[in-house]
Amino acid sequence: MMYKDTPVILTQTGEVTGQRMIPQAELEHVDAKSYYGKAFRAEKLPLPNLSEIGVIRHYTNLSLKNYGVENGTYPLGSCTMKYNPKINEDSAGLPGFANSHPLQPDSTIQGNLELLWDLEKKLSFICGMDRFSFQPAAGAHGELLGLLLIKAYHEKRGDTKRNVMIIPDSAHGTNPASAMMVGYDVREVKSNEKGMVDIGALKKAIGDGEEIAGLMLTNPSTLGIFDESILEITKLIHDAGGLNYYDGANLNAITMRVRPGDMGFDVVHLNVHKSFSTPHGGGGPGAGPVGLKKILEPYMPVPFVQPDGDKFKLVHESEDSIGKIRGFIGSHGIFVRTYAYILANGRQGLREVSEGAVANSRYIYERVKDYYRVGTTSKTMHEFVISADNLKSKYGVTAMDVAKRLIDYGFHPPTVYFPLIVPEALMVEPTETETKRDLDGLADALIQIAKEAETDPDVIKAAPHNTPIARPNETQAARNPILKV
Amino acid sequence: MNGYLPQDRESRRAMLESVGIDLDKLFDMVPEQLQYDGTCDCLNEEGLSELEVIRALEALASKNVDSRRYDSYLGGGIYDHYQPSAIRHLTQRQEFLTAYTPYQAEISQGTMQAIFEWQSYICRLTGLDVSNASMYDGPSSAAEAMLMACRAKRRNRVFVSEGVNPETRQTIRTYLHAVGFDIVVGALDENGQTQQFLPEEGDEYAAWLIQSPNYYGVVEDLESFAEKAHAAGALAVASCDLVSLALLKSPGECGIDIAVGDGQSLGLPQNFGGPTVGYMATTDALLRRMPGRICGQTVDRDGKTCYVLTIQAREQHIRREKATSNICSNQALLATTATIYLAMMGEAGLTEVALQSQTKAMYLRDKLIDTGLFEPVFKGAFFREFALRPVDGVDLKALNEALLDEHILGGYVLPGNMWLIAVTEKKTVEQLDRFVDAVRRLAKKEVAK
Amino acid sequence: MSELRDDVKYAKSHEWIKIEGDVATFGLTDYAQDQMGDLVFAEVVPVGTVVEVDGTIGSVESVKMASDVYSPLSGEVIEANDSLEDAPEQINEAPYDTWFVKIRLSDPSEVESLLDKDAYAALIEEE
């Protein structure tokens, strides 16, 4: 593939002076200078006027420097990308959805409200929850909402001493950062040799329990391991008076097979791009809907949908609500895609999604485990973590080198250096939408790289070789920030 | 059978057998009492075909009223501007659409450069030094700016003008209350501006927040606002609509420290309020206090210009509980959408959009006042949006109901029987005249009742 | 093997401290800068800051890590090295010649809690 130079669009010059997107003015333009007085912008906007073909070629050529899931396997553990059905895009683009306004009267948005209500029922069932809020714009935003609900619950009961959130050391970085955003102190709990929560350490962290607001847990964990003591863990927290928060980043491993509500969780967020299937757009828009048990319902953010006879209405005020964490209802366009995906799968299809996710991950793990260091003997689920520290100590090849070399073999690299508790970690999550040929290709490449580390480590350290750019100088970027033209 | 999976159960079984795993024991690490296989009538048992899926979605969409079939005068933060066709074609390219966050710079230069261009456009529009890679939306961006100011000033309360969109004010209140900080709201004067009701000196606010054009469409005096905020030792924060900046002096030029807002008006559909894209720009001095991802230009090993995520040590994946925010996703695809919009429109197009929106809004406002049925709520100069009050007690909600029969979505009814009306470049003079005519007929009927 | 010096004391949080009368000068040890990698940013608290025991006197960032810099001694900051903000690479290049702040100690007896060269060498050996 030929990669073209793509100078920053603002530095390009067009030979175009006018515009042809909107009709010529029917009315004489307002004299903005005299109308706005000293608030008027004296200088013209410093934006280039470009030709349509120039803009289209620029962004087409930029796009070719990206790798998407339609290029190939994207085993970016914990984050990951799976195939995004095209019909989801068509659904979200229907004018009735895309061109409806959030302030329209309820009578004119019955389709939106019916969809959200039905989706709320579906998600509640899948998660074993009683209600769902659609406000959060992303998983981390869902964590913020979930913790706000927990905090409101304790405060309403006058239980204001509870300011400690217990978080395992294998948790996503967002967990402690979210706890900080609601003013909680974080108490970290170590994992045991099986990669599960150490019950003794948890008991110690709980202490007399009086300060415990709750626990944040991902299950299966970021190591891909299902915590066999989960019922004991959530009970210990409940007995101490705390609530349990389920980080739903890994729900795709257990969809329709285990429900967070049944495990003892009181509140859960989902990352819809991987639990279901919505595009991630190079970093968003995502969505992080939050499911909650009845005890937390009074604190739900507004607005939310409620049936009203045979119609639906939006409820904008609710006495004990935590308020709002963003504008309007939520990322509706993302939920249209989520809804289409659940319809297309049905209950049986969703069970196959989790089965496929686990089967594909286990298969690759079994094929590559002898070539890297593996941390635990616990069976893994939808993702697994291997360590390149065997290659690093012998040949100086790091996890990052392995990741970059995988690009040469046509794959998106796994997540590297996470979870933090595994040195030189490579976290692999293939998802259920890969063919056996893709899976074998990825396993073969990982094995081949381990062999290359012995025979030709330099080719790995110099990787990737055929990309639009070689490895970037990140130190220079941070020391002398150039953040715009 | 699942239509999106390339393997069926039998091929999956065979694959696993080849490495010694039994498909039926795949989930045996889960305690038996937790294994769940329930059904419910809220979930279809078997998956639907693609044709059935789109029919079901079309049936739901058709139960909505939308701005293609109706003339809409709704605004209040979400606007019906024209979206050039090129945008959807480009942003639907799977390389942009189905990529994850650009963690591997070598194979995500497309997303990276588009974000760098977004940051550049935001800086040019706002007149500020640095922009981040985008935020969830306008309200959450404003809330993050308030927390950022509290960290920078080591103070724990903020002043917010009543002219700030209530969606934004409610979001700020939630974010601040979570950490025990206070928000004080200041009133508007008869011009619909904040000037007369700014805090006293010595009130120890971390930030003063204003919106311009404000919720009622009125353009605020950012320059004197920034000056007074600084004199009181607070950061001056402004929420600004990006289309309006084609005509109005930039917040940077007015001395504002942090500009925030929503980018929906730059080529994004209304989407029932989301997803949209938030922006945040600030001065060099506050760069390291800023939440969210930032993209920077550097060189690769061979000296070639390229782009990377940078100054990441502020962020959650490194700092964990000491991060500037828990935010990790930005709205990359929507920032790219807005960037392509700005590239397509250029200075000429954006200025024309702003001028036509404002000219048509002024035309409609005058015509509605000429009916004798309404008076303006505020006297100050406005942009694209204005508030009216009925002079003889017309019930605006009933009037809006009646307008629906004529395929018109009237303005938003505010508490106190005020009508907030937004006009974009998409409206023709004929549509505006039709609106005025319908209002004249229907309002008189309402009064007669 | 990272460099250690005899003429300074050490803190568990990887700062070196030079004591001259009731004034202590702080910097980052060679071991610490090596662990962090190329530093891209550094800042110090302003002159006049009153520091508690184990209080923050600055922060440093590399591409992959961020850390606060602590003082195990209490007192008031009387000088701050603002040149670090423009050139954090000095810390990598000459860690023992690059100081962060000078503090006038409020309780010179706290100095006894600091580690000497051998104790610090043992500490980093363990890590």
The whole-model pTM stands at 0.95
Helices B9-17 and A436-455, packing angle to 10 deg:
30
Using CB atoms within 10 Å of the CB of residue C63, give its burial: 0 to 12 exposed, 13 to 18 middle, 19+ buried.
buried
List the subunits that have 3+ CB pairs under 8 angstroms with A.
B, C
Of the pLDDT bands very low, low, confident and very high (cuts 50, 70, 90), residue C64 is confident
Is C1 part of any domain?
Answer: no
Nearest to B319 among C41, C43, C66 (CB): C66
Residues of chain C contacting A177 with CB distance shorter than 8 Å? none
Report the alpha-carbon distance of residue A52 to residue B401 in Å, rounded. Answer: 42
CATH number for A267: 3.40.640.10
Phi, psi of B299 (to 5 degrees): -125, 160
Report the alpha-carbon distance of residue B225 to residue C18 in Å, rounded. Answer: 48
Whether A223 contacts chain B with CB within 8 A: no
Instruction: Please give the DSSP secondary-structure letter assigned to residue C113.
Output: G
pLDDT the model gives residue B324: 72
Of the pLDDT bands very low, low, confident and very high (cuts 50, 70, 90), residue B440 is very high
Report the alpha-carbon distance of residue A112 to residue A116 in Å, rounded. Answer: 6
A102 shares a domain with A249: yes
Whether A474 contacts chain C with CB within 8 A: yes
The predicted-structure confidence for A92-129, as pLDDT tens digits, reads as follows 999 999 999 999 999 999 999 999 999 999 999 999 99
Question: Mean of the pLDDT values across residues B417-431?
Answer: 97
pLDDT tens string for chain A (485 positions)? 579 999 999 999 877 777 889 999 999 999 999 999 999 999 999 999 999 999 999 999 999 999 999 999 999 998 899 999 999 999 999 999 999 999 999 999 999 999 999 999 999 999 999 999 999 999 999 999 999 999 999 999 999 999 999 999 888 888 999 999 999 999 999 999 888 999 999 999 999 999 999 999 999 998 999 999 999 999 999 999 999 999 999 999 999 999 999 999 999 999 999 999 999 999 989 999 999 999 999 999 999 999 999 999 999 999 999 999 999 999 999 999 999 999 999 999 999 999 999 999 999 999 999 999 997 788 999 999 999 999 999 999 999 999 999 999 999 999 998 888 889 999 999 999 999 999 999 999 999 999 999 999 999 999 999 999 999 999 999 989 999 99
Helices B429-448 and B332-370, packing angle to 10 deg:
60
Of the pLDDT bands very low, low, confident and very high (cuts 50, 70, 90), residue B391 is very high
Nearest to A87 among B54, B108, B177 (CB): B54
Nearest to C41 among A417, A474, A478 (CB): A478
pLDDT the model gives residue B277: 97
Whether A295 contacts chain B with CB within 8 A: no
Residues of chain C contacting B288 with CB distance shorter than 8 Å? 41, 43
A171 shares a domain with A31: no
ipTM: 0.97
Report the alpha-carbon distance of residue B180 to residue B189 in Å, rounded. Answer: 30
Report the alpha-carbon distance of residue A4 to residue A468 in Å, rounded. Answer: 9
A265 shares a domain with A152: yes
Of the pLDDT bands very low, low, confident and very high (cuts 50, 70, 90), residue B449 is low
Q: Is A119 within 8 Å of A335 (Cβ atoms)?
A: yes
Answer with the residue of higher pLDDT: A93 or B329.
A93
pLDDT the model gives residue A19: 82
Question: Mean of the pLDDT values across residues B77-92?
Answer: 97
Mutate to test the interface with A, among C36, C38, C92 (most CBs of A within 10 A): C38
Is A207 part of any domain?
Answer: yes
Give how many domains chain C has, as a whole number: 1
Q: Which residues of chain B from 236 to 255 reach within 8 Å of chain A, CB to CB?
A: 245-250
* Mean pLDDT for chain C overall: 91
Whether B54 contacts chain A with CB within 8 A: yes
The predicted-structure confidence for A402-428, as pLDDT tens digits, reads as follows 999 999 999 999 999 888 888 999 999
What's the domain range around C92?
9-126
A464: CB partners within 8 A, 6+ apart:
A404, A405, A407, A408, A470, A471, B106, B107
Question: CA nearest C40 in A: which residue?
Answer: A479
Instruction: State whether A479 and C61 contact (CB < 8 Å).
Output: no
Report the alpha-carbon distance of residue B268 to residue B274 in Å, rounded. Answer: 10
CATH number of B346-448: 3.90.1150.10
Delimit the CATH 3.40.640.10 region(s) of chain B: 85-340
pLDDT the model gives residue C80: 94
Q: Which residues of chain B from 184 to 213 reach within 8 Å of chain A, CB to CB?
A: none
Q: Which residues of chain B from 20 to 49 reach within 8 Å of chain C, CB to CB?
A: none
Report the alpha-carbon distance of residue B375 to residue B369 in Å, rounded. Answer: 6
Residue that finishes a domain, picked among A324, A344, A364: A344
How many CA atoms does the CB half-sphere of B299 hold within 13 Å?
A: 5
The predicted-structure confidence for B188-223, as pLDDT tens digits, reads as follows 999 999 988 888 877 799 999 999 999 999 999 999
What are the structure tokens assigned to B116, written together? Answer: 């760098």
Q: Which residues of chain C from 55 to 94 reach within 8 Å of chain A, CB to CB?
A: 61-64, 88-89
Is A120 part of any domain?
Answer: yes
Minimal CA separation from B171 to chain A, in Å: 5
Nearest to A327 among B100, B167, B332 (CB): B167
Of the pLDDT bands very low, low, confident and very high (cuts 50, 70, 90), residue B322 is low
pLDDT the model gives residue A171: 87
Is C28 part of any domain?
Answer: yes
List the subunits that have 3+ CB pairs under 8 angstroms with C.
A, B
Q: Is B439 within 8 Å of B421 (Cβ atoms)?
A: no
Residues of chain A contacting B39 with CB distance shorter than 8 Å? 347
Instruction: Please give the DSSP secondary-structure letter assigned to residue B246.
Output: G
Task: Look at strands B385-390 and B374-376 and give their pairing.
Answer: antiparallel
Residues of chain B contacting A49 with CB distance shorter than 8 Å? 346-349
SS (H, E, C) B419-442: EEEECCCCCCHHHHHHHHHHHHHH
Report the alpha-carbon distance of residue B419 to residue B75 in Å, rounded. Answer: 11
Give CA angle at B9 (B6, B12), nearest 5°.
70
Q: Is A313 within 8 Å of A334 (Cβ atoms)?
A: no
Q: Which residues of chain A from 198 to 257 reach within 8 Å of chain C, CB to CB?
A: none
Report the alpha-carbon distance of residue B223 to residue B230 in Å, rounded. Answer: 11
Amino acid, res. B370: D
**Length of chain A in residues, anyone?**
485
Pick the CATH number of B85-340 from 3.40.640.10, 3.30.470.10, 3.40.47.10, 3.30.420.40: 3.40.640.10
pLDDT the model gives residue A196: 92
Sheet with strand B412-414: strands edge to edge:
B374-376, B385-390, B418-422, B412-414
Whether B312 contacts chain C with CB within 8 A: yes
Helix (H) or strand (E) holding A57: helix A52-63
Delimit the CATH 3.90.1150.10 region(s) of chain B: 346-448
Q: Is the pLDDT of residue B329 over 80?
A: no
Pick from A284, A249, A283, A242: nearest CA to A381:
A249
Is A32 part of any domain?
Answer: yes
Report the alpha-carbon distance of residue B95 to residue A69 in Å, rounded. Answer: 8
Q: How far is CA B55 from CA A111, B49, B51, C10, C58, in A?
A: 13, 10, 6, 71, 61
Is C3 part of any domain?
Answer: no
Minimal CA separation from C30 to chain A, in Å: 19
CATH number for C42: 2.40.50.100
How many CA atoms does the CB half-sphere of B20 hold within 13 Å?
A: 3
Question: CA nearest C67 in B: which residue?
Answer: B319
Minimal CA separation from A121 to chain B, in Å: 6
Report the alpha-carbon distance of residue C103 to residue B237 in Å, rounded. Answer: 36
A176 shares a domain with A309: yes
For residue A25, give the 3-state DSSP assignment.
Answer: coil
Report the alpha-carbon distance of residue B131 to residue B235 in Å, rounded. Answer: 17
The predicted-structure confidence for C51-62, as pLDDT tens digits, reads as follows 999 999 998 888
Q: Is A329 within 8 Å of A393 (Cβ atoms)?
A: no
Pick from A28, A131, C62: nearest CA to B318:
C62
Nearest to B272 among A112, A180, A262 (CB): A112
pLDDT above 90 as % of chain B = 88
pLDDT the model gives residue C1: 66
Q: Is the pLDDT of residue B100 over 60?
A: yes
The label of the residue with tokens 């010059």 reads A13
| CB-CB neighbours of B25 under 10 Å | 10
Residue environment code for A306-324, b if the CB has 16+ CB neighbours within 10 A, otherwise e:
eeeeeebbbeeebeebbbb
A283 shares a domain with A136: yes
Is C2 part of any domain?
Answer: no
Residue that finishes a domain, picked among A344, A364, A396: A344
What's the domain range around A136?
87-344
Give how many domains chain A has, as a whole number: 2
Is A264 part of any domain?
Answer: yes
